[in-house]
Homo-oligomer: A and B are copies of this chain.
Amino acid sequence: MSSERSYKIGELSRMFGLTARAIRYYEELGLLESEDRDGPEHRRYSERNAVRIKRIQQLKDYGLTLAEIHELFELARRDRSGDSVRKSLAEKYHARLDEARKRRQAIDEYIDDLSWHVEQLERVQDFFECPGASCADCRWAERCDVRLLVSKGV
């Protein structure tokens, strides 16, 4: 058995590249627990709590907010073995995945569009903006369907 080492806030701060304030803030939110103190002694965090910080950072990287992470932690605490935790976590993950896929699609479209612009840049004179006096001769017709809106007389 390894003797339980404990960490001071400054150590953790250096380990994870966080400020002490951030760590205290995590604790304030209930994401971490320092060992019991009587009075205002320096905080001590167990190794388990150090690991938690790493975990928090992972989840944060995955786009979860601290509130969501807290929610997950609470679920896990309440139901150490239960399927409910697993289920809710799976839901969260899937939601994030969908979101991410959407974002990727948006970026792909953006890239397409920008590529198209670059092409136009090399070929067309008035390349950026609908050049027609009226939208009737809009060269951008395929990408700019305002003509339809206008003709509908909305």
Task: List residues of A whose CB falls within 8 A of some B CB.
Answer: 1-2, 4-5, 11, 14-16, 47-48, 50-55, 58, 61-64, 72-73, 76, 79, 85-86, 89-90, 93-94, 96-97, 100-101, 103-104, 106-111, 113-115, 117-118, 121-122, 127-130, 133-136, 138, 140, 143-146, 149-150, 154
Known pairs A129-B51, A136-B2, A144-B51; A154 contacts B15 (CB<8 A): yes
Give the number of times this chain occurs in the complex, counting copies. 2
Interface class of chain A by DSSP: helix
Contact of A54 among B52, B94, B145 (CB under 8 A): B145
Contact status B62-A109, CB under 8 Å: yes
